[in-house]
């Protein structure tokens, strides 16, 4: 939600009404000392209280660490929240009317706030419903699974508000719509029910599944994860993207882990819900879990708010899928790591176990010892290069050395690079210490050696192939989403056209370009008869002449909605924004690579001005790509893991 500028009158009233003692006493045990109160500082470790709260001044000050401010700053620092979020929460708490800088923005803002509050209420009630169902006879199998298969105690089950979605098609629908009288549209917007494919009516999204609530940073339920108890696929099903739930910007357990992350000055990221739950149950509370998608920069930046050392440990499974997930995560955030913005380390547990399995036979201290010894991500990558290879084989040894050179070329810090060159030389020496200086010198020369034209072209070709494959996947999803919205959401057609025209974007893939041209042809023919929004495009396309039947068959999957792809069009405006951002991102990347190639092939001594121009264009494209990265979604329809 884009938050309009809050009016200064609202901010001042919040400052006046938000009593600092009331705010801080909820988080810190305070004892009166004269006119003021004292307690243990929540911002640093201490045994004797040095944290002072002054009701008369409406200020706090810590004589130990120097932390100081008013009630708003206290909540911003403690919860790592933005100024606007804190002011909004306090305004709601003290029933202060919200004013924004423009009446139009204010009206829209109030409408959005009202919707969000209703969704929070629906999800909270749904959580209680699922919790209650877990204790009923129909939830017996789910409860036994938690207690015996997952070995979770009653306290943990209650802490995470775990529940059960009964079998059947309309349990949560009947409860929320018929008994609690919530509008069916709101229950659908909350992601709890799905429209039936044929005819009227809805059915429950989660059926005969163990339910794991997903919380926002303030501890409010924003969605659910559902695990099947039998053979039903998918094994895990997440809530769809909603007004409250943005999977790419959410981390499971962060609400419970943020304090421990700040205290330990590190965060561990695991793959699954139950890995995180098991670790929290064992007293290891600085742990969060991704939500089935590749770990994104947005999620990492969210974690970095809570750790000064920027220490992030990825503890994904050590099997093939887990290794790929780790490599994807490194690829996503290695730029931050090379710049020193994140201290990234990798933890693979012994025998390929995940955290949940490991804790069955080991203690939390065993796990913490492994965390402390987790290698830096470059060490892990070097181990991946060497692992399972026969270094004694000359050809294999050469391939390993070449891969090491390619990896270490990306390390900009010379001290760090020197240390890793030495480490790689020791590996290649196979225990023969006399060879280490020679091997280190060879690696250093290869790393520092200018890349020749042939190698540069070969590397560029390989990079372009990888880039083209990724771009095609991205375009397939983005263009498919845009056309699906256009076909099934007539009222958003003009919005989509405006979005495409604003950035001069076009469909790139042949099959989708063909469909877009046919849509334009149909609309042009019928333009005088009826408005674009009233045209039944799908029927018109399905009845197209036989001459183009094969082309139509390639895109006919867009004509139908099912349980999986209906989520794609739940929020058309957001879908249009993210999809067009993807299209523009691909274009920017192509321009970036073109300018980069031209810059590399420009002799700076002879054409300094031209080289500087290319460099400026490279930076401009990089900047725009980062802006678009905030808007685009990597996968539009991935709901499971």
Model confidence pLDDT, tens digit, residues 235-259: 899 998 888 898 888 999 999 998 8
For residue 639, is it within any domain? no
SS3 of residue 367 by DSSP: helix
Note whether 441 and 480 are same-domain residues: no
SS3 of residue 443 by DSSP: helix
Question: Residue 458: which pLDDT band, with cuts at 50, 70 and 90?
Answer: very low
328, 357, 374: which is the final residue of a domain? 374
Average pLDDT, the chain: 83
Note whether 419 and 485 are same-domain residues: no
For residue 83, is it within any domain? yes
- What integer pLDDT is reported at residue 371 of this predicted model? 94
Query: How large is the average pLDDT for residues 144-152?
Result: 94
**Widest distance between CA atoms in the chain:** 90
Secondary structure in 3-state letters for 41-91:
CCCCCCCCCCEEEECCCCEEEECCCCCEECHHHHHHHHHCCCHHHHHHHHH
For the cut 80, the answer to whether the pLDDT of residue 381 exceeds it is: yes
24-33, 354-363, 481-490, 625-634: range with lowest mean pLDDT: 625-634
Which residue in 293, 184, 249, 240 sits closest to 567, CA to CA? 240
For the cut 70, the answer to whether the pLDDT of residue 220 exceeds it is: yes
Buried (b) or exposed (e) across 314-335, using 16+ Cβ within 10 A? bbbbbeeebbebbbebbebbbe
Query: How large is the average pLDDT for residues 555-575?
Result: 74
For the cut 90, the answer to whether the pLDDT of residue 175 exceeds it is: yes
pTM (whole model) above 0.85: no
Query: How large is the average pLDDT for residues 11-27?
Result: 84
CATH number, domain with residue 321: 3.40.1360.10
Note whether 128 and 223 are same-domain residues: yes
Question: Residue 192: which pLDDT band, with cuts at 50, 70 and 90?
Answer: very high
Note whether 355 and 394 are same-domain residues: no
Query: How large is the average pLDDT for residues 22-41?
Result: 86
- What integer pLDDT is reported at residue 617 of this predicted model? 84
For residue 583, is it within any domain? yes
Percent of the chain residues topping a pLDDT of 70: 86
For residue 635, is it within any domain? no
CATH number, domain with residue 21: 3.90.580.10
Which residue in 6, 201, 222, 26 sits closest to 102, CA to CA? 6
Question: Residue 614: which pLDDT band, with cuts at 50, 70 and 90?
Answer: confident
Note whether 343 and 366 are same-domain residues: yes
Note whether 506 and 537 are same-domain residues: yes
- For 228, the enclosing helix (H) or strand (E) is strand 221-228
307, 341, 374: which is the final residue of a domain? 374
376-380, 426-430, 556-560: range with lowest mean pLDDT: 556-560
Note whether 294 and 239 are same-domain residues: no
- Indicate the DSSP class of residue 6: B
- What integer pLDDT is reported at residue 413 of this predicted model? 76
CATH number, domain with residue 149: 3.90.980.10
CA distance 634 to 641: 15
16-30, 251-265, 397-411, 525-539: range with lowest mean pLDDT: 525-539
CA distance 68 to 74: 8
Note whether 84 and 167 are same-domain residues: no
For residue 162, with 0-12 CB atoms within 10 Å meaning exposed, 13-18 middle and 19 or more buried, which class applies? Answer: buried
Query: How large is the average pLDDT for residues 554-562?
Result: 77
- What integer pLDDT is reported at residue 548 of this predicted model? 59
Note whether 608 and 480 are same-domain residues: yes
Note whether 289 and 401 are same-domain residues: no
The residues near 578 (Cβ < 8 Å, ≥ 6 apart) are 478, 481, 631, 632, 633, 636
Model confidence pLDDT, tens digit, residues 539-549: 777 665 455 56
Note whether 480 and 409 are same-domain residues: no
Question: Residue 160: which pLDDT band, with cuts at 50, 70 and 90?
Answer: very high
Task: Pull the structure tokens for residue 269.
Answer: 């990221």
Contacts 24+ apart (CB under 8 A), 105-108: 105/4, 105/5, 106/4, 108/4
Is the model more confident about 213 or about 609? 213
Contact between residue 110 and residue 99 where contact means Cβ atoms under 8 Å apart: no
For residue 100, is it within any domain? no
For residue 232, with 0-12 CB atoms within 10 Å meaning exposed, 13-18 middle and 19 or more buried, which class applies? Answer: middle
- State how many domains the chain has: 5
Note whether 422 and 522 are same-domain residues: no
For residue 636, is it within any domain? no
Range(s) of the domain holding residue 465: 455-629
- For 501, the enclosing helix (H) or strand (E) is helix 493-502
For residue 1, is it within any domain? no
- For 268, the enclosing helix (H) or strand (E) is strand 267-270
For residue 634, is it within any domain? no
Is the model more confident about 33 or about 215? 215
CA dihedral 522, 526, 527, 529 (to 10 degrees): -170
73, 95, 117: which is the final residue of a domain? 95
Buried (b) or exposed (e) across 187-207, using 16+ Cβ within 10 A? bbbbbbbbeeeeeeebbbbbb
Contact between residue 174 and residue 182 where contact means Cβ atoms under 8 Å apart: no
Question: Residue 107: which pLDDT band, with cuts at 50, 70 and 90?
Answer: low
- Indicate the DSSP class of residue 288: E
């Amino acid at each position: 939600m884009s938050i309009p500028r809050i009016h200064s009158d609202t901010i001042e009233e919040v400052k006046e009404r938000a009593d600092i003692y009331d705010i801080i006493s909820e988080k810190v045990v305070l004892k009166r000392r004269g006119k003021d109160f004292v307690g243990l500082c929540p911002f640093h470790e201490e045994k004797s209280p040095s944290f002072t709260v002054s009701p008369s001044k409406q200020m706090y000050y810590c004589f130990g660490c120097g932390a100081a401010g008013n009630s708003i700053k206290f909540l911003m620092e403690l919860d790592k929240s933005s100024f606007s979020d804190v002011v909004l929460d306090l305004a709601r708490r003290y029933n202060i009317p919200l004013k924004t800088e423009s009446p139009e923005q204010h009206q829209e803002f109030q409408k959005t706030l009202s919707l969000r509050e209703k969704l929070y209420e629906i999800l909270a009630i749904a959580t209680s419903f699922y919790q209650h169902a877990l204790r009923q006879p129909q939830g017996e199998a789910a409860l036994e699974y938690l207690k015996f298969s997952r070995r979770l105690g009653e306290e943990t089950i209650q802490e995470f508000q775990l529940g059960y979605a009964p079998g059947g098609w309309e349990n949560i629908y009947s409860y929320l719509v018929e008994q609690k009288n919530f509008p069916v549209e709101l229950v659908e917007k909350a992601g709890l029910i799905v429209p039936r494919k044929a005819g009227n009516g809805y059915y429950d999204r989660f059926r005969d599944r163990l339910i794991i609530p997903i919380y926002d940073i303030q501890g409010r339920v924003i969605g659910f994860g559902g695990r099947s108890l039998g053979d039903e696929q998918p094994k895990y099903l997440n809530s769809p993207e909603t007004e409250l739930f943005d999977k790419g910007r959410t981390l499971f357990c962060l609400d419970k882990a943020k304090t421990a992350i700040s205290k330990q000055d590190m965060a561990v990221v695991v793959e699954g819900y139950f890995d995180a739950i098991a670790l929290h149950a064992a007293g290891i509370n600085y742990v969060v879990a991704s939500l089935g998608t590749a770990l994104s920069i947005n999620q990492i930046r969210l974690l970095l708010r809570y750790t000064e050392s920027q220490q992030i440990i990825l503890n994904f499974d050590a099997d093939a899928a887990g290794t790929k997930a780790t490599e994807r995560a490194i690829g996503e955030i290695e730029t931050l790591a090379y710049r020193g913005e994140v201290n990234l380390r990798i933890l693979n547990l012994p025998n390929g176990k995940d955290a949940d399995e490991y804790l069955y036979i080991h203690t939390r201290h065993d796990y913490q010892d492994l965390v402390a010894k987790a290698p830096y991500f470059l060490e892990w990558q070097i181990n991946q290069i060497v692992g399972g290879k026969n270094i004694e084989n000359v050809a294999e040894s050469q391939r390993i050395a070449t891969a090491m050179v390619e990896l270490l070329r990306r390390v900009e810090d010379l001290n760090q690079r020197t240390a890793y060159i030495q480490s790689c030389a020791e590996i290649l020496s196979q225990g023969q210490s006399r060879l280490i200086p020679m091997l280190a010198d060879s690696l250093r020369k290869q790393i520092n050696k200018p890349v020749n034209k042939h190698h540069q072209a070969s590397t560029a070709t390989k990079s372009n192939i990888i880039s083209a494959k990724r771009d095609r996947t991205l375009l397939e999803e983005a263009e498919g989403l845009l056309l699906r919205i256009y076909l099934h959401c007539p009222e958003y057609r003009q919005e989509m056209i405006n979005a495409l025209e604003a950035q001069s974007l076009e469909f790139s893939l042949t099959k989708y370009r063909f469909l877009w041209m046919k849509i334009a042809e149909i609309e042009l023919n019928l333009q005088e008869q009826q408005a674009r929004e009233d045209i039944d495009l799908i029927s018109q396309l399905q009845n197209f002449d036989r001459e183009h039947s094969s082309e139509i068959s390639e895109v006919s999957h867009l004509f139908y909605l099912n349980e999986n792809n209906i989520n794609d069009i739940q929020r058309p405006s957001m879908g249009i924004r993210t999809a067009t951002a993807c299209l523009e991102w691909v274009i920017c990347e192509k321009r970036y690579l073109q300018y980069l190639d031209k810059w590399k092939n420009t002799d700076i001594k002879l054409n300094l001005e031209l080289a500087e121009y290319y460099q400026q264009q490279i930076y401009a494209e990089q900047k725009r790509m980062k802006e678009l990265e905030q808007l685009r979604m990597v996968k539009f329809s991935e709901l499971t893991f």
